[in-house]
Amino acid sequence: MNVGEVFTFCQFLYNKYLSGSFKPQDFNAALQAVNLDLFNLKVGLPQQYRPGQPIPPVYYEVSRKITDDIKHLRVTSTPIPTVPSGIPIAVVIALPSNYGAFSSMTYPRYIMKRGEQVLKITTIDILTDEDFKDRLESRLLTITPKSPIGNFTNGAWQILPNTVNSVLLTYLRLPIQPVFGFTLNANDEPVYDPGTSTELDWPITCHIEFTIMVCAYFGIYLDDQGRFVKVDARKNKGT
């Protein structure tokens, strides 16, 4: 579906169940909100955490379907570590401008084995602030090129030891924001303009899910069978 078809479908449901229409500007605002909502849903909503179970039912790589839904957002890059002036014991990896969620970070290095150089890929453990502090103070778990660590601070990752001179960063980029471009016809009705529109940055298998989420922003809720559900009824159930 293109954004014009999403607009037409939402307008149809809005007119059918709520009588009336919404402005294209409001539709574009809903598009941008749902774009991030769907990304957060696929990555894993913290709101779905339960006591003793800090893993939501839907999250990145929990199933092949979820992985397929966001595999186009997966980016692998080789950023160059820099040594900050204030923390000479660490190197810093800047956060990518389109960064959405972390996947992994590894340190490719060469070691000598039987007189030959062999490529060794070592995972860099990205720790919470508390765990990072514990590792810095630990006398047993030393920080070496064989066991590098890092954490997130000031919009970047700081990595120890400072001998880490290359990394392989894998992350999920944010989906491109969709835009409904339009012109007005003789009746001042919006007409989809593909030339000024930005289409959904999601696979076609997610388009219906995306559209239903847009409808919800206008108070149109559909159940699993595609039937209209009144907003008040959903609120009474806490959904």
Q: What is the rounded average pLDDT of the residues 89-114?
A: 90
Separation between Cα atoms, residue 140 and residue 133, nearest integer Å: 14
Distance between alpha carbon 226 and the CA centroid of its chain, in Å?
A: 27
User: Burial, 198: exposed, middle or buried (Cβ in 10 Å; 0-12, 13-18, 19+)?
Assistant: middle
41 φ, ψ (degrees, to nearest 5): -65, -45
The candidate with the shortest Cα–Cα distance to 193, out of 209, 181, 179, is 181
Tokens of 87: 């923390």
Nearest to 101 by CA among 62, 142, 59, 49: 59
Of 6-10, 42-46, 164-168, least confident by mean pLDDT is 42-46
Write down the residue that tokens 């579906």 correspond to. 1
Peptide bond before 161: cis, by omega within 30 degrees of 0?
yes
Written as six digits, the tokens of 135 are 């590792």
Query: What are the tens digits of pLDDT across the range 138-167?
Result: 988 889 888 999 999 888 999 999 999 999
The two beta strands, 156-160 and 168-173, are unpaired
Q: To the nearest 10°, the Cα dihedral for 189, 194, 196, 198?
A: 110
Q: Give dist(CA 117, CA 107) in Å, integer.
A: 16
Q: Using one digit for the tens of pLDDT, what is the confidence trace for 157-193? A: 999 999 999 999 999 999 999 999 999 999 999 999 9
Distance CA 178, CA 28 (A): 8
Binning pLDDT at 50, 70 and 90, where does residue 110 land?
A: confident
pLDDT at site 231 = 47
Range 51-72 average pLDDT: 71
pLDDT in tens, 212-232: 999 999 988 766 555 656 544
Averaged pLDDT score across all residues of the chain: 86
> For the whole model, what pTM was predicted?
0.82
CB 152 within 8 A of CB 137: no
